[in-house]
Every structure is written in C-alpha cells, then in structure tokens.
Structure 1
Amino acid sequence: MSSVNPVKPFLDTTQRVRELKLKKYEFQGLGNELVISQEEIMTQYNKSKGMKHTRDLGNHREEILREYLLNSNLVPSKYRISQTSSRVTDTNGNYSRELDILLTNNDENIILMKRGKSLEVHPVENTYGTIQVKSKLTLNELESAFENIASYKKLRKNLTNHSSGFSNEGFGIIFAYTTDFDHTQLNTHISSLKDHYSSDLLPNAICILDHGFFLPFHQNNSVILSDTLSSIKQDQIQYYCNPNHNDHLFYFHHILLQLLRGTRTDIVDIGNYYNIGNIDFSTNISFKFAYGEYFELAKCTKHRSAQAIEYLKEINSQNLEKIFQYISTSELFDELLLIANKNSGSLVKIYNPDNIDLKDLLKYEEGFLAYEKIILNKLGSKFDVLLPHYYIQKENLFEDCPQCKKNAKTRTNRALAKIKP
C-alpha cells in the first residue's frame, strides 16, 4: 500500500482538536468514537498475525468483525447478524456459496437448515445482504469476494410486490482490513473484475479499513442500492474511492445502514420450500416433478440383483436447455381439457417438437398418464411442462440408470484395452 498520505496534515489537526475537546466534552460525536473502535479492531487484527493455520486465521478475522457488529449497538435489532457462515437458497433449488456474514430480518427469522455452529441455510426472501470478510485484500481474495457476492445476488427473490424507492434485491459488501495494493492498483483490479459481471451482480461497496471505501458511481452519482445498480449498463459504472482517511469505520456503518434501510425483504412461505427443485448450475435451469417426490424415483431391472436398482430421474444440461428453449416460445394449453375434456384453468406447456397430434401424444397408457409433468424455472421464468413418454424414450430425456452407465463404461474400457497394440 502506498505510504504517501496526502491528507495527513488534515488528519493530524483533526486528531489534535479531538484531544483538546476531550478535556472539555466526554462525547464528541460518533466520528471520534468510531476512530477509537477502528484502532481497536486493527489492534485485534494485528494480534492475530501469529496464528499459523490459514482457515483458523480467516475464521478468527471474520469473527472480529462479527463480534464488533453484534456489540457495537449501531445495527438495529430488527436486523439479524448471522453468527456462523451461511448459505442462501430459493424455492427453485438455486443456492449461494458460503457467505461470511449474512443480514436477515430478525422479526421474520426463518432458518431452513441448521448444523450446529457450522452452517445455516436461509430462504432468500428474508435476507437483506451479505458482507464478505477478507484479511488482506489480494487479487485472489478480491476475485473470491466478487464471486461469492455474485452467487448470492443471482438468487431472485420473487417478491410478491415491489416498492419504488426500495431495492427488491439483496446487497453485497466486501470488507477487508488491509491491502498491499496502492490506490492505482486497486482501481485497476476492481475495474478489471467489474467487467466480468453484469451490473446486477456487482458489489455495492468495497471497504478496506486502513485504506478507503470504494462505491459504484454513474454520472458522478453513487449508486449503492441493488435495484438502481441493476438498471445501469455495466460499462457505465465505475468504482471511486476517497482514500487515506481514518474515518472508514464510520462510513462503513453509514453505508451499511443505508443499504439495510433501503432494501426490502418478504414473508417466507415455507410451503414453497417443502420440496425445492433440482438445479443445473451450468444452465441456471431447475426442475422438479409437479406431483411430488414419489415420481422422482426410477427402477432398473436389467441387473443380476434380486431387487431392482433404484435411482433418481435426472435431466442433463443439454436436455434441460433443449426443453426450455422449445417451451419458452410454445403456446399454453389447459391440461385437464386435453386429457378429460374439462376446463381446469391449469395451463401447461407441452414438449412436442415433432408437432404430433396431442390426442395421440397424451393418451393414457395402461391406465396411466402418457407423460411426466415437471416444473421448469430459469431465473424466474417458470413453466409447468408436460414431457410425453414418446419423447422421453425417443430423445432419452432422462438420464440412464447409473449402474447401466457404469457397466457400459467398463465394457468400453475392456474393449479398448484388447485392441491396444
């Protein structure tokens, strides 16, 4: 980090004024209180340098900030600060990477899964945002923080109603204690990383406690709320910082409260989390069986085992993308009207690339429906879809039995071994 501090004379004078005021006034304002707290935090950070194990060191420095926030009384109790690493999920099966500090609505606090003090899983509707804590901000740590925040911000809240003036998507802050980069290098690295993400996935703020606070700007105005940030093209956003001040902890609190108070959460319907979808991360498409988990189970009797081998029905990335591309532009049908000549209002899409007559395609097979019904969702674009058995067989839409695939691979490897010179 650069050793030149162009505002040092100003800081020295400010410090001297505060020392003189202390003789007359006990409380001089929050700025002075947080300068003291900032020094105490940095002292704890420096004391931890003797720890040798990398994970223990990272956890301890994450804990320094968490304990400070919990005890500072500057985050209102309506906002819950997670006391362990957390993940966030949505009803489609998407989930975030591990998040250091998560802020949720304490009045509607719902935790979907808890594993002692090791991990919590939270519904995305109830979250405000996350803080990713880094000891020393290196390029690798900066990249990791960008990616973790993006994994959280990819989750769509699907709030039932939106309010103008509020952000309906969560925020992400990067917090680091120090860095070896100078100001120019930081600007270069942040700008380069920014170009790899769409604006809705960018960090809302980057705080380096002994250096400065970077905020996203557009047309000379800071744009920190996620909805506002999302509305601007990525190449029109730049991160700017006023470095080398000693009030960074104050501005960290100031920005954090702005983001918390400017972000909405929604009530969690736990019924929507009863059975979440199976997510394919390469396509961002999730699917689940509309009639429940019972229909996810498949059986294979092609083996020597006395009992059929059971496995889950899965759809690979290629088939998911193919199905979604087709049904996203196809027409809607009333499912019950097609199979029982009754109006139901239950509208579905039908995978039918060969345009076969629907009465033939969906007719009953030995008393059973001639299709599987799934729910497809790609980042909020959600459809009920009928997959006729005709196409399931013709295009092999579901993955084969894992044991059959393993046996086939073994046979192929043996055949290849025999023909090797």
Structure 2
Amino acid sequence: MTEPTGPLAGIRILDLTSVLFGPYAAAILGDWGADVIKVESLAGDMWRYTGAFRNRGMSGQFMAVNRNKRSLALDLKHPDGKATLQRLIPTADVLLTNVRPAAMARLGFGYDDCRALNPKLIYAAATGFGQEGPWAKRPAFDEIIQAASGLASSIGSDEEPQFVPSLVGDKICGQALAGAVSAALFARERSGKGQLVEVPMLETVAGFNSIEMLGGYAFDPPIGPSGYKRMKERKPVRTKDGWITMLPYSGDNWCAFFEAVGRPELTDELQVRDPVARAENIDRIYAAMNEIAASRTTAQWQELLLRLDVPHTAFARIDEITEQEHLKAVDFFVDIDHPTEGKIRQARPATKFSEAPPNLHRVPPRLGEHSRDVLMEAGFSDAEVETLVATGAVAQM
C-alpha cells in the first residue's frame, strides 16, 4: 500500500455497488485518490465469483474494478449492520449505490434518509432507467440497455440487431458516473451543499449512441434515414497476409492514398475531394480501398501509410494486447504483487493530472479484509467491533 496521490485524495466514498457499473465508477474515483470503502454483503459482490480466479472470490474481473478500495462486509438487513452504516454516513463525502432506489428506501438508506444523517453528502445513484419514467422499477443489465438504447441495432441492423461482445453499457455509464460525482463534489466546494446525483443507464447510452446514429432523424421532420453510413462501411481490411484498418479521412488523405497506390484516376471518379460527395460515395470508396488492400502485406501497408500520414493500425490480438508497442512503451499494463493472489496484471489509470498524478495505492481487497480498520477509524471500540462480528452484522478476514 502507498499513499493516494490523485486529485481526490482526502475524499471518502462509501461504495454500495456491485458487479460493474458502480464498481467501475468507484475504481476510477479511487484511482484519482479517493478513499473508497466497498460495503459488501457477507456473501460479497457477486462479481468476485465471475471469471477466472486462483482463489474463490478473487476473480480477475473483480480485481480489475475493485483496486484502490477497502472492503467492509456488512449485513444491512441486520439491525446492528444498519446502525453501523448509519454511523459511517456522517464520515463520508459520497455514497454510491446501484441498489434500486425503492429497495434502498426500504432499507432505510434512501436519499432523504442519508441526507438527514449528512446534509453535505453526495448521494450518487447508478440506475437502469431514469426514476421519473415508466420503466423506473425495472431491472437492468448491459444487454438490456444495448437493446433498449438502439445500440444493438446500430451495431447490427434494425432487421438483425447485434450486441457488442463487451459490457460497454456498464463501462460507459461507469465513466459518466465518475464524472458526475466529481462535478457534484466541485459544486459542493462552491455551495457547501450535498445533492442527489442519478446516472441512468438507458438515457446515458441512448444519448451516447444518438450523437451520430440519429442521422437524418436529428431533424424534425427527418431529412434522411437514421444511422451513419460511413460506420457501416468501415470494416477490417484484408491484406495479402492478414488484416489492417486503414482510415484515410480527409480529402488530402484520399488523394495521397490513391496517388501512392497508382490509382490517381479514382480521386476524380469517386469525388474524394468534396466532403459531401465523399460521404455519398463512401461505399464505392471503401470497396476500391478493399480491392487495393489485397495487393500488399500488412507490414508494407503500415510503412506506406505511416509515410503518407494516413491513419491506420494493424489489429491487436486480445491475448497480446499487453505487448502492443505503444501500450508497452508507456507502461500501461503493470504487474502487481498481491499478498494472496500472486502476481496480477492490470491497466494503470489512463488519465493524467500533472499536479496530482493518480496511482495504484491499494491492491484489490479480500471480502471483509478492512472491516475492523474502517470501523475503528469511525470511532468504534474493539468491544463494539467484536460484538458486531459475533452477532453476524459484520464479517472480517
């Protein structure tokens, strides 16, 4: 363990979230220096048991979004567990939850309950659907949001939608939640007031997807079809010996590309200089590029496109991503010695702050590893902690 050095050092967060959306947001805030206390049930976050692991409850997926946190195992349905959290709330700056609001209210930890205990608290709710809409009480998972937001239709088509094979909804919303909490903390610095922050998944992903995918429906009445034709045409390009993504983007890029490959006549034939005509002809342009791509190897294309300053890259295999040239040069993936899990590999914080660099200051916690420490810091006596453990309100390693 090292001291946190990020811009949120000194901020304390109670993280009552599980799986990915909320924990990812809390991990980002922890990377940025916050003291994140992960409040788990006595069984632990179910994400602990998903994916590959050396020891039960410490999967690689769990550890990726639960570093820089301390674990407090607490039974909130137990009267003493409830009373324990009530004593912790006044010590916190932020409470994060992805428990549905009605369930939090039944537990006695809705926004009004928590505000009464700590008027300066930022209460951040990670929800599936905005709480003013008819779907407010529905459960939400990533695929539900991909389907309902239009993202799956954008990836596939209206006739045959497809899911992104990654939990992108959770991760997009986790980043949005981290930003929202940071903004609310900044507002509190000016006003002295806490507030309720809600980040709903459906609205967040629908807005994210709509930027380019509304297409002609960005106007009322619509002036063209929905979708972004260029994205539908952009696909991996097969070379003589593999694959590459090449992305001539500007008119100058396309002119340089067709000139370099000995096909200058396509510059005028496909009208690549004019951005409007280029967009209209993009299917023909990409078809020509695909045909030409088969004439050279991936390495030959990389050498040529780099010289032309045309955006491009070869494809990275998932199992080789830690050796990708750029990521390796900037030491993006780091090896961490975990006391129980051995050597683990994680991505370091990507965001940089020149005056307050974020760091990996805590390894991912075992369930209840910090229960005693957290409670003692909050003013609980040894005898009180022992009683809480004996009654089953708290678990500790």
Select the structure that is richer in helix: 2
- TM-score, length of structure 1 as denominator length: 0.22
Select the structure that is richer in strand: 1
